Amino acid sequence: MPGRLKRTADQNASDVLVVGAGMAGLIAAVEAKAAGATVLVIDKLKSMAEEKVRPILPGGPGNDTARAGGGGIARFENTASVEEMLQKHMDQSWGRADPAIVRAYLERVAADCRWLRDDLKLPYNKRNRTVGLGPGLARFLVREAARRGVPMRFETKALKLLTDDAGKVVGVQARGAEGKVDYRAGSVVLATGGFQGNQEMLVKYVGPEIAYGTTLTGCPTNTGDGHLMAMALGAQMINLSACHIRTMDAINAWGPSREIENIYPRGIYLNMECQRFLDEGTADSDMIANAIVLQPGHKAMLIFDETARAAFPEEWKRYQDKEKTILHARSLDDLAAKIGVDAFYFGHAVSSFNNAVAEGRAHLLPVPKTKFAVKIEDPPYYAFYPVLPGLNHPLGGLKINPQCQILDMDNQPIPGLYGAGTIVNWAFGMPFKLGNATSYKGSYHAAMSSGLAAALTFGRIAGHEAAAEAAKKSAVGSS
């Protein structure tokens, strides 16, 4: 049962209490502070300003911010109308994404990215990624919150939400070095990340294929704490079929979709039965990786030739450890032998694809290739193998409205409770049949979206709205 507020010392009281010190939580804290609220941040991990974290790699400490690549948030500018971009999200989500949430995001994400760059002065490198990638971003945000006078208490784990007799959220009970403490607040922002580190929740909400068929590249300490606390108050969870899963190699957890982004669409993906299973010309990292989860052995191979490789020499040059992750041979038979698959079926898959391209009917194949349909005929031949699915975090989660209020099962706001970041619902996707193969389509990468950008936008909204509600409660209490 949810707890009831107990008497606490003043240093444990604030207008806005933020649970989670990742991108969304620290942005919410900065925004609430700017709105005139007193703010306190708690997080169960050590400070990311002190931890040494490498982005993306499986295992190790860090929240989703520190494990991210740090891209996306620098480059978003409106290139189409909100209506056009919203339609892309709805088309790629089978009509199941929440249009009000997507619209709220699209209407302000470009301005929020400029705010982060120009007002907060987050530094970027020449590739428009944050300096230091995710770890650099995490350290910057911790310092920025501290500079603005936001106290932060790390290694303090939230246990349950506290409510008053009317059911309003008025704080959080947490456990830290001093034991259990009740933190009082006018409103609470949950920004505790996803539940990718909780296998029981993964099996229950996204299924055993993803739970057991992926490598965990997201933060393993994000175990659904905020979800469970909110659900104890009757909060609603939605869009639980979709996860942010990226293509990765077997060494560094980088993958073809991110690092050889112009080479990979000019190749073909084959599963371990030498069958194509997606349209490589239009599929992004999430679509490919989610589809790989559903293939035999939960792995695949990307096949391309020297013409594709040589066309983008800078991409090829910068890919790390390619001598260990990308095989090559002068013949398709030799390449099949290196991969360990049947040479006949492997060669047949490539030759059938080449024939369709030569006849101008690649788009009519049972598994079509609608863009970048070029023959694979110029040796040496290359196989990026294995391409694996790396689980960053779920994309579904607590249902919110455009004000970032967490909603109950009747779609009513839970008073005093807000959510932002990977704890909340965002995108939708699901498997479908493409020819004889199971493929996947989802809305995560449709039209100017990324996890960090969503955390930025909804973090700002949550901080502002939580401060406004706390101010109203304070005004009522003093009247």
DSSP codes, 313-348: HHHHHH-TTHHHHEEEESSHHHHHHHHTS-HHHHHH
User: What SS3 class is residue 149?
Assistant: coil
Secondary structure element (H or E) that encloses residue 17, with its range: strand 13-19
pLDDT of res. 60: 64
| Rounded distance between C-alpha atoms, residue 187 and residue 97, angstroms | 27
| Rounded distance between C-alpha atoms, residue 108 and residue 116, angstroms | 12
CATH of domain 3-242+395-478: 3.50.50.60
10 Å Cβ neighbour count for 310? 11
Q: What is the mean pLDDT of residues 160-186?
A: 97
pLDDT digits (tens, 9 = 90+) for 77-91: 888 999 999 999 999
CA distances from 1 to 162, 163, 233, 234 (A): 10, 10, 8, 11
Mean pLDDT of the chain: 92
Q: What is the mean pLDDT of residues 121-139?
A: 87
pLDDT digits (tens, 9 = 90+) for 424-457: 998 999 999 988 889 999 999 898 888 899 999 9
pLDDT of res. 170: 98
pLDDT digits (tens, 9 = 90+) for 327-366: 999 999 999 999 999 999 999 999 999 999 999 999 999 9
Q: Answer yes or no: are the C-beta atoms of 17 and 172 closer than 8 Å.
A: yes
- According to DSSP, the β-strands at 152-153 and 157-163 are unpaired
pLDDT of res. 345: 98
Greatest C-alpha distance within the chain: 82
| Rounded distance between C-alpha atoms, residue 309 and residue 407, angstroms | 49
247-390 and 3-242+395-478 share a CATH fold: no
Residue 11, classified by CB atoms within 10 Å of its CB into exposed (0-12), middle (13-18) or buried (19+), is exposed
Angle 235-402-21 (CA atoms, 0-180°, nearest 5)?
A: 70
Confidence at 56, pLDDT banded by 50, 70, 90: low
Kindly tell me if the per-residue pLDDT of 187 is higher than 80: yes
| Rounded distance between C-alpha atoms, residue 155 and residue 307, angstroms | 52
For residue 309, give both structure tokens: 């490789």
Domain ranges within the chain, ordered by starting residue: 3-242+395-478, 247-390
If you count them, how many residues does the chain have?
A: 479
DSSP codes, 66-88: HHS---STTT----S-HHHHHHH
Kindly tell me if the per-residue pLDDT of 2 is higher than 50: no
pLDDT digits (tens, 9 = 90+) for 371-410: 999 999 999 999 999 999 999 999 999 999 999 999 999 9
For residue 91, give both structure tokens: 């088309």
Residues above pLDDT 90, as percent of the chain: 80
| Rounded distance between C-alpha atoms, residue 92 and residue 101, angstroms | 15
pLDDT of res. 85: 95
pLDDT digits (tens, 9 = 90+) for 289-323: 999 999 999 999 999 999 999 999 999 999 989 99
Angle 82-85-86 (CA atoms, 0-180°, nearest 5)?
A: 80
pLDDT of res. 352: 97
For residue 98, give both structure tokens: 């929440």
Could you give phi then psi for residue 325, rounded to 5 degrees? -115, -15
Tell me which fold the domain 247-390 belongs to: Flavocytochrome C3; Chain A, domain 1 (3.90.700)
pLDDT digits (tens, 9 = 90+) for 89-125: 999 999 999 999 999 999 999 999 999 999 999 998 8
Kindly tell me if the per-residue pLDDT of 3 is higher than 50: no
pLDDT of res. 474: 66
In sequence order, which residues have a C-beta less than 8 Å from that of residue 119 and are 6 or more positions away? none
Residue type, 301: M
